[in-house]
Amino acid sequence: MKKIRIRKGEEAGAAASLSNRTDSDFGEVDASVREIVEKVKRDGDEALYYFSEKFGGPGKERIGSLRVSEEEIEEACRATEPELTEALRMAAENIRSFHEKQMSESWSYRKGDGILLGQLVRPIRNVGVYIPGGKAPLSSSVLMNVIPAKIAGCERIVMCSSPEGDGKINKYILAAAKIAGADEIYKAGGAQAIAAMAYGTESIRPVSKITGPGSAYVARAKKYVFGTVDIDMIAGPSEVCIIADSTADPEYIAADMLAQAEHDEMASSILITDSEETADRAAAALQRQISVLERREIASQSVENNAVIFVTEDLDSAFLIADEIAPEHLELMIPDAEKRLDMVNCAGAVFLGQYSPEPLGDYLAGPNHTLPTGGTARFASPLGVYDFLTRTSVISYSREELQKVNREIIRLAESEELTAHANAVRVRFGNEGKKAKA
């Protein structure tokens, strides 16, 4: 873990200290992804069975039908502990309440009697959601991806997740899918699932957009199929950035840094503080807490390689550094955090005060936990209902209104040497249009 002191005026360039943001070489991954995708395009369902077994999962005999039956879903729901079911339902309700406020509608306006301008807002009809299975089945990601699509009005929401050794999808993922309202669920994981949703197989009809988290292979597969379908983002390692002063509890800081570090070895945990004492006490608390974690090996590597503590001269500098980092998660462990919100310009999600830890956003609060990573919060936004909508412009002019502007259109078209464009207007007005060139 690095500790870096930043003087006033030296905030620019601090983000370069984050080692896991350097460009990675995905050559071998991309080559594998290309092979997987092309085989799925060629062999369909058989490729899904083949890659499941090849990568250590169950084979065709154990999986059976790729589509999860209603009986399997109901069985999973019955096997899910009532307390967890209630927690999933509570989270789902909060997610719905928040995302319903994002819904937009078609609009139009008239300019006089002969001009109508507007925008049609329509749901994407077919969308796909990828949910990782394995050692950390992300049932919360089911809710975060499916519910916004449902609110948008998508007609068909397809979900893919890798089957476990018994050929079934994790029961918690299926229970969450039932609560969220997924329409079709398939036993397919990895890059092959992305290919199946993008291009279709005998069992899986193709979709128009794919969202959801996954491994580097999943992320690169999403990049590979982009253009055939839309995607949400190409996510990088998860990250948290905490701005804290002398009033912050070091134990809270350490716990929140480790909550991020346990994701994977590439995750980043960043503390920015104007208090040397807070920096030292948080670092000590982090080392104490890491020793009792179940995922301590992963967290230890993450902390050793990617954790950074910046010590600044004041909080203004701390906010400048945080803006440059543009973190996925930004926690403000300072008094009157809400009053400092106007200093935040680039962050996926902001958590205010010592009792708004990042896991609150991951699971229950309601805002989406699918957030821009790797500094892309400078230009990207959290997943939302708007990601499952299309917008179409509407233009209507009467003959009289087009006649008023036909010469200007012709002049603009001819200035670009697009004479057919000019003629498409000129032909409607005969000799009148010819005068525009004079």
For the annotated catalytic residues, the residue numbers are 328-329
Half-sphere exposure for 278 (CA within 13 Å, toward CB):
21
Beta bridge partners of 184: 158
Q: Contact, 122 vs 188, CB < 8 A?
A: no
Give the separation between CA 303 and CA 261, rounded to whole angstroms. 6
Pinpoint the alpha helices (H) of 314-378: 315-325, 358-363
Nearest CA-CA partner of 174 in 257, 252, 235, 88: 88
CB 381 within 8 A of CB 346: no
CA dist., res. 371 & res. 328, Å (int): 6
**161 token code pair:** 């997740």
C-alpha angle 87/66/385, rounded to 5°? 45
Q: With contact defined as beta carbons under 8 Å apart, do 195 and 36 qualify?
A: yes
> Which residues make Cβ contacts (< 8 Å) with residue 188, sequence separation at least 6?
48, 52, 66, 160, 161, 162, 196, 204
Q: How far apart are CA 306 and CA 309, in angstroms?
A: 10
Closest CA to 221 of 391, 68, 46, 51: 51
Burial call 106-134: b when 16+ CB within 10 Å, e when fewer: eeeeeeeeebbeeeebebbebbbbbbbbe
What is the spatial distance between Cα 298 and Cα 291, in angstroms, rounded to a whole number?
11
> How far is 68 from 26, CA to CA, in rounded Å?
33
How crowded is the C-beta side of 115, counted as CA atoms within 13 Å? 11
